[in-house]
Amino acid sequence: MIVRSARGWYALFECQRETEPKSPTGRRVGLDRGITTFAATSDGDRLRHPRLANRNQAHVARLARVVARRRRGGANRRKAVRMLAKAHDRLRWARRDFLHKLSRSIINGYDFVAIEALKVRNMMRSAKGTTQQPGSNVRAKSRLNFAIADASWTLFASMLHAKAEEAGRTVFEVDPRYTSQTCAGCGLVDAASRISQAEFICTNCGLQLDADVNAAKVILKRAELAACGEGHRVAGPQRSTKCTSAGADPVHAASAA
Catalytic residue set = 32, 116, 212
- Amino acid identity of residue 75, one-letter, is A
* Strand 39-41 versus strand 46-47 pairing type: antiparallel
Cα–Cα distances (Å) from 180 to 21, 28, 139, 157, in that order, read 34, 20, 24, 20
Q: Give the span between the Cα atoms of 15 and 48, in whole angstroms.
A: 34
Please state the φ and ψ torsions of residue 206, each to the nearest 5 degrees: 80, 10
